[in-house]
Amino acid sequence: MSGKVVEKKVYLGTFAHSKSLKELEIAHDAAIFVDETGKIVAVERGVADEAAAKSFFPKLNWSDSQEKPIQIIKSKEEQFFFPGFIDTHIHASQYPNAGIFGKSTLLDWLNTYTFPLESSLSALPTAHRVYARVIARTLSHGTTTAAYYATISVPATNLLADLCLAAGQRALIGRCCMDSLAPDYYRDAGPEESIADTRATIAHIASIDPTHAIVKPIITPRFAPSCSSQLLMGLGKLQKETGLPVQTHISENKREIDLVAQLFPESKSYAEVYDSHDLLGPKTVLAHAVHITDEERALIRERGAGISHCPVSNAALSSGMAAVRTWLDDGINVGLGTDSQPGDGGGGGGGGEEEVERGGSAVFGDSWGGKVVGMEGKVGAFEVGMEWDAQLVGMEGVGVEGGFEGGDGGPVDIFGWESWENKLAKWVFNGDDRNTLAVWVRGRLVHQRRS
CA distance 203 to 173: 12
Lowest mean pLDDT among 123-137, 156-170, 177-191, 406-420: 406-420
The distance between the two most distant Cα atoms of the chain, rounded to a whole number of Å, is 72
pLDDT category of residue 313 using cuts at 50, 70 and 90:
confident
CA distance 86 to 440: 13
What integer pLDDT is reported at residue 301 of this predicted model?
Answer: 98
pLDDT over threshold 90, residue 185: yes
CA distance 286 to 292: 11
CB proximity list for 177: less than 8 A, separation 6 or greater: 152, 188, 194, 195, 197, 198, 219, 220, 221, 222, 227, 231, 235
pLDDT digits (tens, 9 = 90+) for 202-230: 999 999 999 999 999 999 999 999 999 99
Mean pLDDT of the chain: 90
pLDDT category of residue 190 using cuts at 50, 70 and 90:
very high
What integer pLDDT is reported at residue 2 of this predicted model?
Answer: 43
Q: What is the mean pLDDT of residues 290-299?
A: 96
What integer pLDDT is reported at residue 384 of this predicted model?
Answer: 98
What integer pLDDT is reported at residue 426 of this predicted model?
Answer: 95
What integer pLDDT is reported at residue 105 of this predicted model?
Answer: 64
CB proximity list for 373: less than 8 A, separation 6 or greater: 86, 88, 145, 147, 172, 245, 285, 306, 335
pLDDT digits (tens, 9 = 90+) for 86-96: 999 999 999 99
Q: How far is CA 234 from CA 193, 200, 230, 341, in A?
A: 11, 15, 6, 29
pTM of the shown model: 0.93
pLDDT over threshold 60, residue 50: yes
What integer pLDDT is reported at residue 353 of this predicted model?
Answer: 36
Residue 265: how many other CB atoms lie within 10 Å: 8
Residue 390: how many other CB atoms lie within 10 Å: 26
What integer pLDDT is reported at residue 408 of this predicted model?
Answer: 73
pLDDT category of residue 406 using cuts at 50, 70 and 90:
low
What integer pLDDT is reported at residue 4 of this predicted model?
Answer: 67
Q: What is the mean pLDDT of residues 38-53?
A: 97
Q: Which domains, and CATH codes, for the chain?
A: 9-83+382-448 (2.30.40.10), 85-372 (3.20.20.140)
pLDDT category of residue 28 using cuts at 50, 70 and 90:
very high
Residue 120: how many other CB atoms lie within 10 Å: 16
Q: What is the mean pLDDT of residues 55-78?
A: 92
pLDDT over threshold 50, residue 357: no
What integer pLDDT is reported at residue 451 of this predicted model?
Answer: 67
pLDDT over threshold 90, residue 194: yes
What integer pLDDT is reported at residue 106 of this predicted model?
Answer: 66
What integer pLDDT is reported at residue 319 of this predicted model?
Answer: 75
Provide the 8-state DSSP code for 39. B
Helix (H) or strand (E) holding 220: strand 220-221
Work out the percent of the chain whose per-residue pLDDT is above 70: 90
